[in-house]
Amino acid sequence: MKILTGNSNRPLAEAISAYLNLPLTKASVRRFSDMEVFVEIHENVRGEDVFIIQPTSYPTNDNLMELLVTIDALKRGSASRITAVIPYYGYARQDRKSGPRTPISAKLVANLITTAGADRVLTMDLHAGQIQGFFDIPTDNLFAAPVFSKDIHERMNKEPLTIVSPDVGGVLRARAIAKRLDADLAIIDKRREKAGVSEVMNIIGDVKGQRCILIDDIVDSAGTLCNAAMALKDAGATAVSAYITHGVLSGGAVARVTASPLEELVMTDSIQATEAVRVAHNIRQISVAPLLGEAMRRISDEQSVSCLFD
């Protein structure tokens, strides 16, 4: 078993390497003067079971290209099996036609990864579970729910909790954590007038006197999250926190979060934190390196991955 990383999230790769007690494979992933991606692997990978850790976060296209070129380099180096470990799967929100003459980019990216030569994909909290079906190779979709549940239990065990889904589409995700914590569930009905702008309309469930925890898979502009937090506070919630798997936080999202009623925004390290995220007073990262590392070990040893969530 060998572990390789691109430039997208080296700290996460190093944490996984430390968990597995395996050194990262020596490789160069660099650019030519015209910004072409060039990959050179400095160790023998012939007949090896290789895992490439490369979330396709910002800059999405550069990181995706790094992943594809690295897969090709490994395939031509005669690796026996290549697993693309993509903690954050970019383009996942384009999982269906949103209108006439629009692409399904999540499927296109799946085709590119498969054609490049990946034998397996390991990802986490896909925006839509059916994206697994876009791949014609085995795909494991891990869940951050156990990591979140443990953190919530350790920090907020003695308070009356309500787990809140910020939209109808995230109910299953929120319900899974509510069930683990034996907590109440609430849902926010929102109506989005146009892309990037959301308006909170109604809260389904009683949140008065409760500590509310918003659960979602991606926070991008943070508009929905901050509006939801404000609505919950107005409805009588004592405090509002948020647990999000992938902290994209583009544009002015960090400033929006720091100025919001959110007591704390907790994210995994599936995407490398920017300097603005690191210095924000109410944003905290928790690591999913042990979860990803254990899944990688089980895949390499041909053991069950699903039992991680039993």
Any idea which residues carry the catalytic annotation? 190
Name the token pair of 125: 């909290």
278 is in an annotated binding site: no
223 labeled binding residue: yes
The answer on whether 95 is annotated among ligand-binding residues is no
201 is in an annotated binding site: no
Contact 264, 242 (CB under 8 A): yes
Question: Is 192 among the annotated ligand-binding positions?
Answer: yes
221 is in an annotated binding site: yes
DSSP H helices, the chain, are 10-20, 60-76, 105-116, 145-156, 171-181, 223-234, 253-258, 275-279, 289-300
304 assigned to a ligand binding site: no
CA end-to-end span of the chain, whole Å? Answer: 26
Instruction: Name the residue among 6, 1, 20, 306 with its Cα closest to residue 138.
Output: 306
Contact yes or no for 269/11 (Cβ under 8 A): yes
Q: What does the alpha-carbon distance between residue 267 and residue 273 come to, in Å, rounded to a whole number?
A: 10
* Residue 208, Cβ density class (10 Å: 0-12 exposed, 13-18 middle, ≥19 buried): exposed
- 193 assigned ligand-binding residue: no
Q: Give the separation between CA 109 and CA 45, rounded to whole angstroms.
A: 25
**Is 94 labelled as part of a ligand binding site?**
yes
DSSP 24: B
36 annotated ligand binder: yes
HEC profile of 283-299: EEEECCHHHHHHHHHHH
Q: How many CA atoms lie within 13 A of 187 on its CB side?
A: 10
Q: Which amino acid is at 273?
A: A
256 is in an annotated binding site: no
Please tell me whether 93 is known to bind a ligand: yes
**Helix axes of 10-20 and 289-300: crossing angle, nearest 10 degrees:** 60
- Residues annotated within the binding site for D-ribose 5-phosphate are 192, 216, 220-224
Q: Binding site for Mg(2+), residues?
A: 127, 167
Which residues make up each annotated binding site for ATP? 34-36, 93-94
Q: Binding site: residue ranges?
A: 34-36, 93-94, 127, 167, 192, 216, 220-224
